Amino acid sequence: MNSVHPAAPSSSPIARWSRFVVRRRRIVLAAYVVLLAVFGAVGFGVFPNLGGEGFDNPGSESGEVQRLLADRYGVADPIAVIVIRADGDVDDPAVAASATGLLDEMTATAGVARVISYWGAGQPPQLRGQDGRYAQALVYADPGADGEAISTDLVDRFGGAQDGLEISFAGPEPVISEVSSTISSDLARAEAIAVPIVLLLLLWVFGSVVAAGLPFLVAIFATLGSFFLLFLATLTTDVSIFALNLVTALGLALGVDYALLMINRFREELARLGSGDEAVVAMMGTAGRTVLVSGLTVALTLASLTVFPLYFLRSFAYAGVAVSLMAILGAFTGLPALLAMLGPRVNRLKLRRGDLTPTDEGAWSRVARAVMGRPWPVLIGCVAVLLVLAIPALRVVPGQVDDRALPPDNPAAQASQLLREQFPGEEGTPFEIVLRDADAAGVDAYAEAVAAVPGIVRVETPTSTIAAGQAPAPNPNGAGLVNGDLTRIVAVGDQPFAAAAAVRALDAIRALPGPASEVLVGGATASFEDANDSVVSRLWLVALWVGLTTLIVIFLYTGSILIPFKALLLNLLGLGATLGVLVWVFQDGHLRWLTGDFQQTGTLDLGSLVIVAIVAFALSTDYELFLLSRIKEAHDQGSTTREAVALGLQRTGRIVTAAAILIAIVFIAFIASGVTNIKQLGFGAAFAILIDATLVRGLLVPALMRIAGDANWWAPAWLRRVHGRIGLSD
């Protein structure tokens, strides 16, 4: 079987660009270096601008309640919850004196509006721990103040042993601060783990020191360029710190992917043409075209995350699009310019004996022929394995990131656990109900109906306090619950905010007819449920977006009707297996020896699941295009489908497998993270990549293409005409 080597048309845009790069290689490379310097100088400014929140839907009913409470009632969540442990009883005068002194110092801190504690007016019983040695204090910030900075300052000054007391900080800002600092240190550790291993494997894959260093040229450009674009994004919108994990992982992943494909093709063309300049032009017309289509497809796939209202998820869209575009730019500028300068010297400092030029016959072509010799048993066996792995996904329980995402020994996580253990009343999250233009006579009747909802233990109205199973009692502090046309009702439940029983209580309250023109129900449970609903309700749109993108791009690339649907089906099978394994590992708590310790909550972070799914789908399509590019090229040059598949798998199997192993190592390094949802991202992406590059691309693709035969390339006449006009050919 002979190799096929089509020449790139001289009039194509890619050919014109590649010739420009070859002629002006030094200028292009100098501009590349200048851009790197600018990206680095400006891009690192993104870190202080990133946020640790973004898990709520601001446009939801609960978001509107939160705004009304803040604007009309001056109600805001505390920036920190302090857990104070005494050696003796918290009612001891000496303990009270020490605690009061410390809390007075905190109150005097710039930006702190007030501190409410057990030792304040009325000694609120809910702020006293069960065993009498713990008490609680709530820190509120001035409007507009930087809550995270204030919280960090308080933790630094007052955390730990103080005047015979042990001070611990929980609450929103301390948890966010700990998550941010943990992720920052995790990024450095992940890079320290991944980069040396990736470099060693690249030396083995390329067989020469010079070639092995080139993927980092693209990876560094993609990463620093993404930091630069994200910095610009933070000037106009919120961006989550969690997105940095995708930047570093995907930057290195696409850098390795694209450099592997292009350098491998450059070596082929160099051996055929003898001229480094001509080899660069030929490489850009083939592998370069594949990189362009692949990168744009990855960008389009990740852009689907912009449909979600949670800025946590949208941030991954910004990061993914930025990395994809910057990887394309790096692969189209610095890499071909340097290859043109190197020419045959790309193989300098060889580490392997023999010719480094890829061959048409080898292990992968033998695998392809073996699979195509028995396609049905391979197909049935592989599909059965994937379906079995996917079964646990049927019982996924969606959750959200909270303090339990931190390592169990983290101070903020330990303080949060103390709150759950010592202040069981705090497990009952308030439901905030706001009535507009309420009928005063009907408010108490409505409140009694709310109090009758299973799981509600107390309801506060402007006139009364209604405890479950008891007669209403006067509420001496109820006057503050009325503000103009608004009436506020507070209902306290007996479950944690994310518990299934709390969600059922929320649904029951929202279903009650209210004595007002508008009834809004908010609070932590409502925020949790509204955020989940906003994600789940838009999943069909994301699926449609990603599915149509995959079908259209692969059709325009191949001109086939069957191949795009085959690619979509295989991607879904691999994705189902990945989600099933994530449920088994993180929701059920298996494989801790591999993933490291984490707090098992019986749920999976819904945002992380979506991100893993989109990233896995994008990279699966990436590998599909790599493989199809060589199969179609061979078929267009006259090879039979069977010969084309064998040649395509031989020429790309080693690349895809090597890229998959290298990228999986990058994501596996995230398993060492102390933040559970980052572990989920790393484990899920690594598993998806490895199963796709082996079981799916190595076995299922050749089996299905052998079964389909010439039908792989069929399309109706009108679609062939469409492909002839706008197909993605060079």
Least confident of 281-285, 422-426, 489-493: 422-426
Residue 588 has pLDDT above 50, yes or no: yes
CB within 8 Å of 23: residues ≥ 6 apart: none
pLDDT at 122: 65
pLDDT at 359: 63
Cα–Cα dist 116/138, whole Å: 5
Residue 27 has pLDDT above 90, yes or no: yes
Residue 4 has pLDDT above 70, yes or no: no
720 against 540, higher pLDDT: 540
9 against 640, higher pLDDT: 640
Instruction: Return the percentage of the chain with pLDDT > 90, whole number.
Output: 38
Q: How far is CA 344 from CA 263, 280, 349, 636, in A?
A: 12, 11, 12, 29
Outline where 496-640 has alpha helix (H).
Answer: 500-511, 524-536, 539-558, 562-582, 592-595, 606-636
Q: What is the 3-state secondary structure (H, E, C) of 643-710?
A: HHHHHHHHHHHHHHHHHHHHHHHHHHHHHHCCCHHHHHHHHHHHHHHHHHHHHHHHHHHHHHHHHHHH
Query: For the segment 600-613, what is each residue's pLDDT rounded down to a tens digit?
Result: 888 888 888 999 99
For residues 239-256, b (16+ Cβ closer than 10 Å) or e, as one string? bbbbbbbbbbbbbbbbbb
Dihedral, 279, 281, 283, 285 alpha carbons, nearest 10: -150
Residue 48 has pLDDT above 90, yes or no: no
Please say whether the beta carbons of 33 and 221 come within 8 A.
no
SS3 487: strand
Look-up of token digits 């509204």: 530
pLDDT at 249: 85
304 — pLDDT class (breaks 50, 70, 90): very high
Please say whether the beta carbons of 728 and 556 come within 8 A.
yes
pLDDT at 358: 60
Q: For 417-537, where are the E strands, in sequence order?
A: 430-436, 456-460, 464-467, 473-474, 482-483, 486-493, 518-523
Query: For the segment 100-137, what is each residue's pLDDT rounded down to a tens digit?
Result: 999 999 999 988 888 888 887 667 777 888 888 999 88
Cα–Cα dist 336/730, whole Å: 17
Please say whether the beta carbons of 329 and 186 come within 8 A.
no
Outline where 274-348 has alpha helix (H).
Answer: 276-283, 289-303, 311-332, 334-342
Q: What is the 3-state secondary structure (H, E, C) of 563-598?
A: HHHHHHHHHHHHHHHHHHHHHHHHHCCCCHHHHCCC
Query: For the segment 646-670, what is each residue's pLDDT rounded down to a tens digit?
Result: 888 887 777 778 888 888 888 888 8
pLDDT at 355: 56
Angle between helical axes of 289-303 and 539-558 (0-180°, round to 10): 170
Residue 8 has pLDDT above 70, yes or no: no
Specify the length of the chain in residues. Answer: 730
SS3 383: helix
Side chain identity at residue 421, one-letter code? E
pLDDT at 1: 40
pLDDT at 427: 46
Cα–Cα dist 533/307, whole Å: 13
Domains of the chain, earliest start first: 13-53+177-402+535-726 (no CATH), 79-170 (3.30.70.1320), 419-527 (3.30.70)
| Short-list 419, 243, 270, CA closest to 336 | 270
CB within 8 Å of 106: residues ≥ 6 apart: 82, 112, 115, 137, 139, 154, 158
> Mean pLDDT score of the chain, rounded to an integer?
87
Arithmetic mean of pLDDT, 521-538:
91
Q: How far is CA 480 from CA 62, 437, 476, 491, in A?
A: 21, 16, 10, 16
Arithmetic mean of pLDDT, 618-627:
86
CB within 8 Å of 82: residues ≥ 6 apart: 106, 117, 136, 137, 138, 139, 167, 168, 169, 170
Query: For the segment 176-188, what is each residue's pLDDT rounded down to a tens digit?
Result: 778 777 777 777 7
Q: How far is it between the farthest Cα atoms of the chain? A: 94
**Which tokens sit at 39?**
């990206």
User: Between β-strands 134-141 and 160-162, what pairing exists: parallel, antiparallel or unpaired?
Assistant: unpaired
Residue 583 has pLDDT above 80, yes or no: yes
| Short-list 420, 462, 457, 455, CA closest to 441 | 462
Please say whether the beta carbons of 505 and 493 come within 8 A.
yes
Side chain identity at residue 5, one-letter code? H
User: Between β-strands 604-605 and 464-467, what pairing exists: parallel, antiparallel or unpaired?
Assistant: unpaired
Cα–Cα dist 234/602, whole Å: 34
308 forms bridges with which residues in the sheet? Answer: none
Residue 426 has pLDDT above 50, yes or no: no
Least confident of 7-21, 90-104, 299-313, 460-474: 7-21
Residues 397, 523, 422: CA angle, nearest 5 degrees? 80
CB within 8 Å of 475: residues ≥ 6 apart: 460, 461, 462, 463, 464, 465
Query: For the segment 346-390, what is each residue's pLDDT rounded down to a tens digit?
Result: 888 777 665 556 666 767 788 888 999 999 999 999 999 999 999
Query: For the segment 56-69, what is each residue's pLDDT rounded down to a tens digit?
Result: 898 999 999 989 98
Instruction: Return the percentage of the chain with pLDDT > 70, whole number.
Output: 95
Look-up of token digits 């977006």: 545
Side chain identity at residue 451, one-letter code? A
SS3 713: helix
Please say whether the beta carbons of 301 and 548 come within 8 A.
no
Cα–Cα dist 397/424, whole Å: 24
CB within 8 Å of 497: residues ≥ 6 apart: 429, 523, 524, 525, 528
Cα–Cα dist 251/412, whole Å: 31
pLDDT at 354: 58
Cα–Cα dist 524/62, whole Å: 8
